[in-house]
Each structure stands twice: as structure tokens, then as C-alpha cells.
Amino acid sequence: MPLPCRFGPSEELLEKIKAASGVEGGSGEGREKSWGAKFPRSWSIETLPSKSPSSVALEEKASQVHLRSPIKKKEKRRPFLVFCSATNMESRRGDCKDKQDAQIDNCTGNPDQYGNHRSPRIVSLKHHWWWMMTTVWDGLVETRRHQGHILFIEEDHYIFPNAYRNIQILTDLKQSKCPDCYAANLAPSDVKAKGEGWESLVAEKIGNVGYTFNRTVWRKIHAKAFEFCSFDDYNWDITMWAAVYPSWGSHVYTLRGPRRSAAHFGKCGLHQGQEEDRSCIDNGKLDITVEDADKHPNIKTEWGLHVFEQQGGYQAGFRGWGGWGDKRDQQLCMSFASMYHVVDSSHEARSLKHKAMRQPTSEMSS
């Protein structure tokens, strides 16, 4: 099926791509030459005839997009650039909105399990998290060979002075204190909780504030790309709790201290104050108290471990809040998973999945 893309001349950009890739222009005796550059999704850029660009056939094979056009001898050429992106997925009919019917309203889209069509602002959250993970673990030169832990924090997380040292201590203690822990957290899974204040380490479900895990755990997550990308919920964290973690076959714990070293702040976000008719303003209020105990490492290596075996919140069996029913979002999500890997029914994908499932617990903890 042809992809909805835009065509347009871009002489300057094309020349930069030629220079960067070291490919000279020219066509020889009627043969096509392609000017290529390596992009995250491996777009292929080729010269097109200056006449009838609308007659060009656009094909998608694997993760590459190829532009092909018959070019006759001595025909004057003019470079064109193909633009294909997630934000340019609308067809001529336009995207369906709310509870529109694609056939009756002549629009494009697949509704979620509740009959609602995609909202670009909403689906961007899950897309961004998945793209970020694949890019950090497998794309960036600085981190793609890093085997240890990486700490993920967000712009609305307040990091206490002792956070960095505490997370180092927790990752060091994981293997000996909690071999079944896949991650470490700076805060309780309940974002409103401040911790129990015990003299004990705590094992509970992985939270979404200040979490860290290593490459072995990332491979297990990546092996479940289909489960992540097909689950009908626009929240990345709920998708992990309800679809990905349960597929590993056992409780998924994280290790944390009895006091938080990070906190979520502010009321502005996806669900609060983002209506179209008004904006959200926090007025700079930060209702977080940093006590003396939070200014230096406060986790003791001799502490025991308290395990919350009854994990509350979203779990296996939850259907999801919807918002993720459009096949284009699911396909884009899977394309992010294959930016640096082959994710399909191939032998490589099966091997990656099998290897991740067989990783010993000690590797997840180390």
C-alpha cells in the first residue's frame, strides 16, 4: 500500500546529503543513481524527473522506503525529496476524530476498543518513550554498548541531593539483596508516597519515577515489542504493568530504599489542565520538603529486605484505557523497535527473544 508522503524540491538539503555521503551525482547511460544518507529509518532518496512527479510509485520494503521512476535518456532531471513521518499520516480523506465512522464520515483511522479514534497529542507519549528507549540503548554511540544500568528521569521529577549515590548503592545491592529484582527505583511506585521510613530495603513493583535497569532487562523488554505496541493503552507505564511484565511469567520487582530520593511535582501534565480552551499554570509552586536525611546517602548495606508480594495497581488482565487502536500507531511503534534491530518472524528476532528469555536472574541484577 503506498505511503502518504509529500514531494517537493530541496536542492540545498540534497546537496548537503550528497556531500555527507560522498556520492557524486550523474546518471550515466540512462541508469538511475541514488543519493543516500543513513537516517534512523533508512530513507532512500533518489532523483526524479522534473515532469509528472505524481506518477512516481512509492514502495515500502522492510524498514526502507524506495522511490522509483522510469527515466529516459537525456531527460532533464530535478532532485526531489520525499517526506514521510508520523505526523504526516493523514490521507486525502483526513483522520477520523472522536467516535466518527470511517465509512460514513469518509475519514481514515481505526478506533480503539471503546470506539474512539486516535489523538495525536495523546499517542505521542507512548511513541516518545518507546523511541527514547530504543535510541538510548541501541542507537546512541555513547550508550549502545553500555551493559550496566541507566537511570531514567523526567522533566517533572525533583531529584534529591542523595539520589545519585543512593541509586548507585541500590544497583550494587540488587544481586545480593534481591536477585529477583529487575530494576532499582528512587521512589515508591505510588507517586504520592514518601516511603515507609523503615530501616529496611523494599522490593515492590517497578515504579515510573527515577527507575534504572541494565541491558539484560532492556533485551527482555525489547523482545516484547509486539506486546507493547499492540496493547490498547496510550500510557507506556500501564502498558508495561499490564502487558509486558506479566508476559515474563513471574513477579517483577524493583529495589528501593525506605525514603524517596525523587518526587513528582506540579499539577500540569497530560491529564490536568491541558484542555484546548485553557492552559495549565503551576505558578512555580514546589511543595517538596528536603530534610537533612535526604542530603546524604541514607541506605545501609546491612539492612534486610521487605517484599511487597501483593502488588496493587494495574496488572495482567487489565484491558487498557484505549487510545491506541489505530493500526498506524501500532506499526510506527514496531518500526521504532526495528530501527536498530530486525523485529519480525525472522530467525534473528526469534533468537533475540529466546536469548532474552533465557538470561539468568544474576545478569539482571548485576
Q: What is the pLDDT of residue 48?
A: 34
The CA distance from 315 to 320, in Å, is 10
Cβ count within 10 A of residue 73? 7
Q: Which three cell numbers stand for residue 249?
A: 511469567
The CA distance from 64 to 268, in Å, is 39
Phi, psi of 221 (to 5 degrees): -65, -45
**Residue-wise pLDDT tens digits, 56-65:** 333 333 333 3
With H, G, I as helix, E, B as strand and everything else as coil, classify residue 147.
coil
Scan for cell 479514534, then name that residue: 117
**Which fold would CATH assign to domain 120-365?**
Spore Coat Polysaccharide Biosynthesis Protein SpsA; Chain A (3.90.550)
Band (pLDDT 50/70/90 cuts) for residue 82 is: very low
Q: 117-122, long-range: CB within 8 Å, 24+ apart, which pairs?
A: 117/325, 117/326, 118/323, 118/324, 118/325, 118/326, 118/328, 118/329, 119/323, 120/87, 121/274, 122/234, 122/270, 122/323
Q: What is the pLDDT of residue 362?
A: 52
With H, G, I as helix, E, B as strand and everything else as coil, classify residue 73.
coil
Sequence ranges of the domains in the chain: 6-84, 120-365
- The residue-averaged pLDDT of 43-51 equals 35
245 within 8 A of 227, measured Cβ to Cβ: no
Q: Which three cell numbers stand for residue 123?
A: 499517542
Band (pLDDT 50/70/90 cuts) for residue 265 is: confident
Angle between helix axes 215-222 and 347-357 (nearest 10 degrees) is: 130
Paired sense of beta strands 262-264 and 157-159, if any: antiparallel
